[in-house]
Copies of this chain bind each other. A is one copy, B any other.
Amino acid sequence: MTSGFVLALELIGTFAFALSGATVGVRRQLDLFGVLVLSFAAATAGGITRDTLIGATPPVALADWRYLVVAMIAGLITFYRCDIVERLRHPVQFSDAIGLGLFAVSGAAKATAYGLGPGGAILLGILSGVGGGVVRDMLVAEVPSILRRGELYAVAAALGASIVVAGEALHLPSTPLAIGGAAACFLLRYFSIRRRWMLPVARIESTQASDQQ
């Protein structure tokens, strides 16, 4: 992949993530600044945390103004015309799945380039994909939806990141590897939504019982 093509796809993912952040902000009746903060945080917190952890400072989402501009546009549209965003729910979910795949793959590749081993690189690929959603929900004092709903969201990111890490260990060429990883993540996410594949959720009988001791 040329870097221009990757950047274009990343900015589409940024836009989709920012819409999800702004929508949460509007639902929680934040003010205009709060909605813009949630747009930017949802779109960039995963990548900013990754870059900080691997020592790639300043993070690319702060150094390249295009991430900020794309997130602000998404935030302003959602703030003033959230009826449009609601109507576009399916395209947004589609873009979000593309963004998830791209961020997972580019996060794992970047972590590997900065010297992390397989476990750390997969972790940072997952973090790049899901970190924005976690920070978005923490900012409105909610338990992050990706920790409780049982959807195959982080698992899809883990699949994409793992394909990149495994392929790099086998010295496969990086461009098809990245495309394959992102596509696998996208497809797993897409089919898990359509077919309602779910993770198990914790049962609490025994825990409740022990709380009564």
Contacts and interface: CB of A to CB of B under 8 A. Distances in A.
Interface in A21-61: 23, 25-35, 37-38, 48, 52-55, 57-59
Main secondary structure of the interface of A (DSSP, over half): helix
A200 interface: yes
Contact of A53 (B28, B52, B134, B138): B52
A201 B23 CA distance: 13
A139 interface: yes
A140 interface: yes
A23 B207 CA distance: 9
Contact of A33 (B29, B69, B82, B155): B155
Interface residues of A, number: 67
Given A68-B123, A139-B144, A204 B29 contact: yes
Contact of A30 (B30, B148, B207): B148
B58 A115 contact: yes
A202 B147 contact: no
A169 interface: no
Contact of A31 (B38, B139, B148): B148
A176 interface: no
A206 interface: yes
Contact of A206 (B35, B68, B86, B198): B86
A207 B141 contact: no
Interface of A: 23, 25-35, 37-38, 48, 52-55, 57-59, 62-63, 65, 68-69, 79, 82-83, 86, 89, 111, 114-120, 123-124, 134, 138-144, 146-150, 154-155, 198-202, 204, 206-207, 210-211
**9 smallest A-B Cβ distances: which pairs?**
A34-B147, A55-B57, A65-B119, A31-B150, A62-B120, A83-B206, A26-B202, A86-B210, A31-B199
24 contacts: A26-B202, A26-B204, A27-B202, A27-B204, A28-B202, A30-B147, A30-B202, A31-B149, A31-B201, A33-B147, A33-B155, A34-B148, A37-B147, A37-B154, A53-B57, A58-B115, A63-B117, A65-B117, A79-B202, A82-B206, A86-B207, A138-B138, A140-B147, A141-B142
